[in-house]
Amino acid sequence: MTLIKITPETHNVELEIAYGTADNFTGQPVYANPACYLNPESEELLRRAIELAAELGLRFKIFDAFRPTEAQWVLWNHTPDSDFLADPRRGSPHSRGAAVDLTLIDDAGRELDMGTPFDAFTPRSHHGNLSIGVEAQRNRALLIGLMTTADWDFYRNEWWHYQLFYARRYPVLSDSVLPDGMM
Protein backbone atom coordinates (compact mmCIF):
# COMPACT_ATOMS: atom_id res chain seq x y z
CA MET A 1 0.00 0.00 0.00
CA THR A 2 1.24 3.46 -0.86
CA LEU A 3 1.14 6.07 1.89
CA ILE A 4 0.84 9.79 1.17
CA LYS A 5 3.24 12.19 2.86
CA ILE A 6 1.55 15.05 4.72
CA THR A 7 3.59 18.26 4.88
CA PRO A 8 2.91 21.89 5.80
CA GLU A 9 3.39 22.83 2.14
CA THR A 10 1.05 20.23 0.68
CA HIS A 11 -1.68 20.28 3.35
CA ASN A 12 -1.43 23.63 5.20
CA VAL A 13 -0.93 21.90 8.56
CA GLU A 14 1.66 22.29 11.27
CA LEU A 15 3.66 19.20 12.19
CA GLU A 16 4.94 18.51 15.67
CA ILE A 17 5.60 14.77 15.45
CA ALA A 18 5.75 13.93 19.15
CA TYR A 19 7.55 10.62 18.83
CA GLY A 20 10.40 12.26 16.91
CA THR A 21 11.62 13.96 20.08
CA ALA A 22 12.05 13.02 23.73
CA ASP A 23 8.99 15.19 24.51
CA ASN A 24 6.57 12.26 24.69
CA PHE A 25 5.41 9.82 27.35
CA THR A 26 8.40 7.49 26.80
CA GLY A 27 10.92 10.28 27.43
CA GLN A 28 12.89 9.12 24.35
CA PRO A 29 12.63 9.71 20.61
CA VAL A 30 10.85 6.77 18.96
CA TYR A 31 11.30 7.92 15.34
CA ALA A 32 14.81 8.57 14.02
CA ASN A 33 13.30 10.28 10.95
CA PRO A 34 9.95 11.79 12.01
CA ALA A 35 7.43 12.26 9.23
CA CYS A 36 3.69 12.26 8.67
CA TYR A 37 1.98 9.76 6.35
CA LEU A 38 -1.59 8.57 5.83
CA ASN A 39 -3.20 6.02 3.56
CA PRO A 40 -5.10 7.50 0.57
CA GLU A 41 -8.56 7.32 2.18
CA SER A 42 -7.31 8.97 5.37
CA GLU A 43 -5.49 11.66 3.42
CA GLU A 44 -8.69 12.49 1.54
CA LEU A 45 -10.65 12.83 4.79
CA LEU A 46 -7.89 14.96 6.31
CA ARG A 47 -8.14 17.33 3.32
CA ARG A 48 -11.89 17.57 3.95
CA ALA A 49 -11.31 18.42 7.63
CA ILE A 50 -8.64 20.99 6.68
CA GLU A 51 -11.14 22.75 4.39
CA LEU A 52 -13.79 22.81 7.13
CA ALA A 53 -11.35 24.20 9.69
CA ALA A 54 -10.11 26.86 7.25
CA GLU A 55 -13.65 28.22 6.93
CA LEU A 56 -13.42 29.02 10.66
CA GLY A 57 -9.91 30.52 10.42
CA LEU A 58 -8.35 27.45 12.04
CA ARG A 59 -5.72 24.89 11.08
CA PHE A 60 -4.49 21.57 12.45
CA LYS A 61 -1.31 20.66 14.28
CA ILE A 62 -0.52 16.97 13.80
CA PHE A 63 1.26 15.02 16.54
CA ASP A 64 1.26 11.59 14.88
CA ALA A 65 -0.26 9.74 11.94
CA PHE A 66 1.15 6.56 10.38
CA ARG A 67 3.06 4.71 13.08
CA PRO A 68 5.13 1.77 11.88
CA THR A 69 4.38 -1.43 13.76
CA GLU A 70 7.95 -1.31 15.11
CA ALA A 71 7.10 2.00 16.81
CA GLN A 72 3.84 0.60 18.17
CA TRP A 73 5.87 -2.11 19.90
CA VAL A 74 8.21 0.52 21.43
CA LEU A 75 5.21 2.42 22.85
CA TRP A 76 3.47 -0.75 24.06
CA ASN A 77 6.61 -2.13 25.70
CA HIS A 78 6.99 1.15 27.58
CA THR A 79 3.33 1.51 28.64
CA PRO A 80 1.14 -1.55 27.95
CA ASP A 81 -2.14 0.27 28.70
CA SER A 82 -4.96 -0.81 26.38
CA ASP A 83 -7.08 2.19 27.43
CA PHE A 84 -4.65 4.44 25.56
CA LEU A 85 -2.57 2.22 23.27
CA ALA A 86 -3.51 -0.50 20.83
CA ASP A 87 -1.89 -3.84 21.52
CA PRO A 88 0.50 -4.32 18.57
CA ARG A 89 -0.53 -7.98 18.32
CA ARG A 90 -3.97 -6.73 17.17
CA GLY A 91 -2.59 -3.78 15.27
CA SER A 92 -3.21 -0.09 15.71
CA PRO A 93 -5.18 2.09 13.28
CA HIS A 94 -1.99 4.21 13.27
CA SER A 95 -0.01 1.25 11.94
CA ARG A 96 -2.50 1.01 9.08
CA GLY A 97 -2.09 4.66 8.05
CA ALA A 98 -5.71 5.09 9.14
CA ALA A 99 -5.40 7.36 12.20
CA VAL A 100 -4.21 10.82 13.05
CA ASP A 101 -3.50 12.56 16.36
CA LEU A 102 -4.07 16.30 16.14
CA THR A 103 -5.31 19.51 17.66
CA LEU A 104 -6.59 22.85 16.41
CA ILE A 105 -4.46 25.98 16.11
CA ASP A 106 -5.50 29.57 15.51
CA ASP A 107 -4.23 31.87 12.75
CA ALA A 108 -1.18 32.75 14.90
CA GLY A 109 -0.28 29.07 15.33
CA ARG A 110 -1.38 28.86 18.97
CA GLU A 111 -2.98 25.62 20.11
CA LEU A 112 -6.56 25.91 21.29
CA ASP A 113 -7.00 24.85 24.92
CA MET A 114 -8.14 21.22 25.02
CA GLY A 115 -7.94 20.77 28.80
CA THR A 116 -5.01 18.35 28.74
CA PRO A 117 -1.90 18.02 26.65
CA PHE A 118 -1.59 15.43 23.89
CA ASP A 119 -0.95 11.93 25.28
CA ALA A 120 -2.15 12.75 28.79
CA PHE A 121 -3.19 9.22 29.72
CA THR A 122 -5.85 10.21 32.24
CA PRO A 123 -9.66 10.27 32.34
CA ARG A 124 -9.44 14.06 31.80
CA SER A 125 -8.45 13.23 28.19
CA HIS A 126 -11.74 11.46 27.50
CA HIS A 127 -14.27 13.10 25.21
CA GLY A 128 -17.10 14.55 27.27
CA ASN A 129 -15.05 14.89 30.46
CA LEU A 130 -16.66 17.72 32.41
CA SER A 131 -13.78 18.31 34.83
CA ILE A 132 -11.98 20.47 32.25
CA GLY A 133 -12.77 24.14 31.72
CA VAL A 134 -15.70 25.33 29.64
CA GLU A 135 -13.44 26.78 26.93
CA ALA A 136 -11.61 23.45 26.59
CA GLN A 137 -14.95 21.64 26.39
CA ARG A 138 -16.03 23.98 23.57
CA ASN A 139 -12.74 23.48 21.74
CA ARG A 140 -13.03 19.69 22.00
CA ALA A 141 -16.60 19.92 20.71
CA LEU A 142 -15.37 22.03 17.80
CA LEU A 143 -12.59 19.53 17.02
CA ILE A 144 -14.86 16.49 17.15
CA GLY A 145 -17.46 18.36 15.09
CA LEU A 146 -14.97 19.19 12.34
CA MET A 147 -13.49 15.71 12.26
CA THR A 148 -16.76 13.78 12.34
CA THR A 149 -18.26 16.06 9.70
CA ALA A 150 -15.28 15.07 7.54
CA ASP A 151 -16.22 11.39 8.18
CA TRP A 152 -13.64 10.49 10.81
CA ASP A 153 -14.42 8.24 13.77
CA PHE A 154 -13.11 9.16 17.22
CA TYR A 155 -11.66 7.22 20.13
CA ARG A 156 -13.58 8.06 23.31
CA ASN A 157 -10.51 8.05 25.60
CA GLU A 158 -8.39 10.50 23.60
CA TRP A 159 -9.65 13.91 22.46
CA TRP A 160 -6.77 14.07 19.91
CA HIS A 161 -7.24 10.68 18.18
CA TYR A 162 -9.30 10.21 15.02
CA GLN A 163 -9.39 7.16 12.78
CA LEU A 164 -11.20 5.70 9.82
CA PHE A 165 -14.36 3.74 10.43
CA TYR A 166 -13.44 0.11 9.80
CA ALA A 167 -9.71 0.88 9.90
CA ARG A 168 -8.97 -2.82 10.36
CA ARG A 169 -9.76 -3.46 6.69
CA TYR A 170 -6.29 -2.05 5.99
CA PRO A 171 -3.15 -4.10 6.65
CA VAL A 172 -0.72 -3.38 9.47
CA LEU A 173 2.41 -1.88 7.92
CA SER A 174 6.03 -1.82 8.95
CA ASP A 175 8.65 0.87 8.48
CA SER A 176 9.85 -0.89 5.32
CA VAL A 177 6.90 0.48 3.27
CA LEU A 178 8.32 4.02 3.45
CA PRO A 179 10.82 5.38 0.93
CA ASP A 180 12.85 6.82 3.83
CA GLY A 181 12.03 4.85 6.97
CA MET A 182 11.01 6.61 10.15
CA MET A 183 12.70 4.10 12.47
- Which residues participate in catalysis according to the annotation? 158
Q: CA-based angle 138:163:63, to the nearest 5?
A: 70
CA distance 163 to 166: 9
Distance of CA 60 to CAs 53, 75, 113, 133, Å?
A: 8, 24, 13, 21
Phi/psi at 117 (nearest 5 deg)? Answer: -75, 165
